[in-house]
A = this chain, B = another copy of it.
Amino acid sequence: MHTQFFTVNYQSTKTMARLGTINTQHGQIQTPVFMPVGTQATVKTMSPRELYELGAEIILSNTYHLYLRPGHDLVAEAGGLHRFMNWNRPILTDSGGFQVFSLAPLRKITEEGVEFRSHLDGSKRFLSPEKSIQIQMALGADIIMAFDECAPYPADREYVKRSKDLTTRWARRCQAAHSRRGQALFGIIQGGVYPDLRRESAAELLELDFPGYGIGGLSVGEPKELMYEVLEHLIPVMPVDKPRYLMGVGSPDCLIEGVMRGVDMFDCVWPTRLARHGMAITRRGNLPVRDNPYSRDFRPLEEGCTCYTCQNFTRAYIRHLIKAKEVLGIRLTTIHNLAFLIRLMEDIRQAIAEERLEEFRNEFLSEYGRIR
Contacts and interface: CB of A to CB of B under 8 A. Distances in A.
Interface in A20-64: 40-42, 44-49
A78 interface: yes
**Number of copies of this kind of chain in the complex:** 2
A71 to B, nearest CB: 9
Given A86-B313, A316-B78, A47 B331 contact: yes
A316 B46 contact: no
A324 interface: yes
B78 A298 contact: yes
Contacts of A84: 314, 316-317, 320
Nearest to A40: B324
Chain A, interface size: which category?
A: 35 or more
B40 A326 contact: yes
A125 interface: no
A106 interface: no
A78 B314 contact: yes
A155 interface: no
Nearest to A70: B320
Contacts of A324: 40, 42, 65, 69
A152 B10 CA distance: 73
Contact of A45 (B46, B85, B313, B327): B327
Given A84-B314, A86-B317, 6 more contacts: A40-B326, A47-B308, A47-B331, A47-B332, A70-B295, A84-B320
Interface of A: 40-42, 44-49, 65, 69-70, 74, 77-79, 84-86, 295-296, 298, 308, 312-314, 316-317, 319-321, 323-324, 326-328, 330-332
